Amino acid sequence: MPEETEKPKIKLEFDPKNPDYELIETEEQVKNAVRELKKREVLAVDCEATELDPYSTKLVLVQVGTPKKAYIFNFQKVDISPLKPLLEDPKRLKIVQNGKFDYQMLKVNAKITIENIFDTMLAERILTTGFKRENSLEAIALKHLDIQLDKSIWKTFGKIATLTRKQLNYAALDVLVLFPLFKIQFKNLQKEKLTRIAQLEFRCLPVVAEMELRGSKIDVERWRQNLKELKEKRDLAAARIQEELRPLYTNTQVDLFGNHVDVVNLNSPIQILGAFRKVGLDLPSTGEAILRRTNHPLAKMLLEYRSHEKLISAFGENLIAKIHPKTGRIHPDYRQIGADTGRFACSNPNLQQIPTDSAFRSCFVPAEGYKFVVADYSQIELRIMAELSEDPAFMKAYKEDKDLHRLTASQMYNIPFEQVGKKMRFNAKSINFGLMYGRGANSLATQLGISPDEAKLLLNKYFQTYGKVKRWLDKVGREAVRQGYSTTLGGRKRWYQRPDPADPSYERQLSHFERQGKNTPIQGSSADMIKYALVYIYDKIREKGYDACPVHTVHDEILVEVRSKQAEEVRDLVEKEMIRAAKVLLKKVPVKVDAKVSDVWEH
DNA sequence: GGGCCGAGCCAC
DNA sequence: AAACGTGGCTCGGCCC
């Protein structure tokens, strides 16, 4: 592990018990503070607010720090607009912990757009990906500086009318610790050769902040109509199952009014298992794989019930409830380095798992007078695997823009390209995708409904054509285990927890580790790429002054909301910038981007 | 009644 | 259910 080995001893320029600060509550004090701050090339910034949501919060304090002293602006008492030129100055570095929050807070409450951010939270995440997930300021100040911050004070800012000494100490310390943290992290980023990826993440931060602020509009009527139809289908499926099972139960059949009551909770796997056993269906579990293979009408009915129930519970009223009362839109949380591979994660709600069915996606619409540009990379992960493995057959397919899965099938089955049938193409596609996840013969056999021996034969045939793919996958899997980390094309690293040989599941963990080692360079490079694309698109939109903003991203896809009359131009811009982003990482394999103008979230 | 966890399932 | 990678959400069920 990188940092654990040495704890840099750093001399603090402030006293953690008694930090130097100045509370700014008059216009005159603002003027003087800004005069001092202007002399600094590097500033630390932090905000204290009553809530996390920028649209409902009350901004209480804005702290701007120099290495020795914190200037605490009481936002309730003074106009902080004299800070604007400093915070928006692209040449002056701003050190911030979780800069997304401060960016949004200052943008919404003070119309200040922070430029040139070094985010200590993202830096810490980049430096510890894979072996630590705790990146709070409290945790990293303790780890690097041995300073214990009292984060519980945060909650008091909304309640206390006058600022206490304790609160001000806390506010000062919060911003002062950022300087030594920055120093340590910067050195570590250089040592681990992670400055390039850090730069990418920092430039991506404002884009993510803006995406969240802008949010997504939902056609609520359409959503509810869709929901109603789903509920009808679900209730029908549920009733059929209950009636089927009812004869097995002797009591609790009717309620006080003589209505039939449910005899089993269909959402409880334990109860289902028990009920099925009564009809002679003894299943090892009620998982989808098992139910699919079970030749019994009840299994089919349960599958149908579940498919509706899942959609209703996860994507029904709960999503509507997330519409913000002030903006009328949905503002999800994007975690910029959510997955250890570098991918985004999204929550509250997770818009990255909205069903692809257009019944759901077409409910996401642009505002009045706007359009969507919906753009995605075509087969980006396979293209990355082609580039990384340098497999000639794979690269050739993409260079000649052939249907890769069909080509794979024709080579595996030794038949002309044109004669490849649906089933053959499906098999080839399954292998192409499965390999990226480190899939083996047994699990391939299950998916394709063939014997393990047949699957092995198929794989061998595959590797005869794509020998370098296999050698590359084996190599990166081994390397991950040997060196303890994986890297991506953008220079990202993911470290691995080495399993304990004494652990009974050691072998299993090790092979899991190897599969992660195979997948991470692919998935991670794809994450790097979409981040470059977001940055390029955002910068170009600003440069040209378009009325447009990215509103959503799903791993290989970007949604931009744009003023209708600019839609075509921005569509071209998005396509061009996505390709430019890809070319930063892919030098041999061409990429394809599908970008279109649309009135709904659909391809 | 809140916290936690696994099962199950949505996305790429 | 599974030796198929990365996530988040909802539910039941258990614990305190």
Q: What is the pLDDT of residues A31-52, one digit of tens each?
A: 999 999 999 999 999 999 988 8
CA distances to A83, A212, A328, A370, A590 from A217, rounded to whole Å, are 33, 12, 7, 11, 34
**Residue A512 Cβ < 7 Å to strand C:** yes
Does position A258 have pLDDT exceeding 80, yes or no? no
Angle (deg, nearest 10), helices A220-245 and A297-315: 150
- The alpha carbon of residue A231 and the mean position of all alpha carbons in its chain are separated, in whole angstroms, by 30
Residue A592 has pLDDT above 60, yes or no: yes
Q: Which nucleotide is at minimal CA–C1' distance from A556?
A: B12
CATH architecture of residue range(s) A220-319: Up-down Bundle (1.20)
Residue A296 is classified by DSSP as S
Q: Which nucleotides on strand C sit less than 7 A from a protein beta carbon? A: 1-13
Stretch among A132-136, A213-217, A246-250, A261-265 having the lowest mean pLDDT: A246-250
Could you list the beta-strand ranges (E) of A98-199.
Answer: 117-119
Q: Which residue is nearest to nucleotide C12 (CA to C1')?
A: A268
Tokens of A218: 């939902």
Question: Does the structure show a pLDDT above 70 at A256?
Answer: no
Do A597 and A373 touch, CB atoms closer than 8 A?
yes
Residue A314 CB closer than 7 angstroms to strand C?
yes
What is the CATH class of A3-192?
alpha beta
Nucleic chain C contacts, protein chain A, residues 353-382, CB cut-off 7 A: 353
Q: Confirm if A413 and A458 have CB atoms less than 8 A apart.
A: no
Tell the CATH topology of A381-489. DNA polymerase; domain 1 (1.10.150)
| A265 strand C contact, CB < 7 Å | yes
Average pLDDT, chain A: 92
Is strand C less than 7 A from the beta carbon of A313? Answer: yes
Give the amino acid at A400.
E
Q: Which of A181, A177, A185, A118 is nearest to A149 (CA)?
A: A177
Q: What is the pLDDT of residue A5?
A: 46
Closest-approach nucleotide to residue A508, Cα vs C1': C3
List residues with CB under 7 Å of strand B: A 269, 285-288, 291, 303, 306-307, 310-311, 314, 352-357, 554-557
A393 beta partners: none
Whole-number distance in Å between A309 CA and B10 C1':
12
What one-character-per-residue DSSP string does A320-383 give?
A: HTTB-TTTSSB-PEEETT-STTS--EEESS-GGGS-SSHHHHTTEEPPTTEEEEEEEESSHHHH
Q: Assess contact for A530 and A555: CB atoms under 8 A.
A: yes
Lowest mean pLDDT among A22-31, A291-300, A380-389, A546-555: A291-300
Segments of chain A assigned to CATH 3.30.70.370: 332-380+490-603
| A394 membership: H or E segment, kind and range | helix A392-399
Mean pLDDT, residues A154-180: 84
Q: What is the mean pLDDT of residues A77-99?
A: 97
Rg, Å, chain A Cα set: 28
Domain with CATH 1.10.150.20 in chain A: 381-489
Round to whole Å and give the CA distance between A210 and A170: 29
Ranges for all domains in chain A classified under CATH 3.30.420.10: 3-192
pLDDT exceeds cutoff 50 at A533: yes
User: Which of the 439-468 residues on chain A come under 7 Å of nucleic strand C at their beta carbon?
Assistant: 439-440, 442-444, 446-447
Report the distance from CA of residue A383 to the C1' of nucleotide B2 in Å, as an integer: 47
- Assigned fold of A332-380+490-603: Alpha-Beta Plaits (3.30.70)
pLDDT at residue A3 in the model: 47
The pLDDT of residue A202 is 97
pLDDT band at A108 (very low <50, low <70, confident <90, very high): very high
The predicted pLDDT at position A251 comes to 61
Copy the structure tokens of residue A561: 């909301």
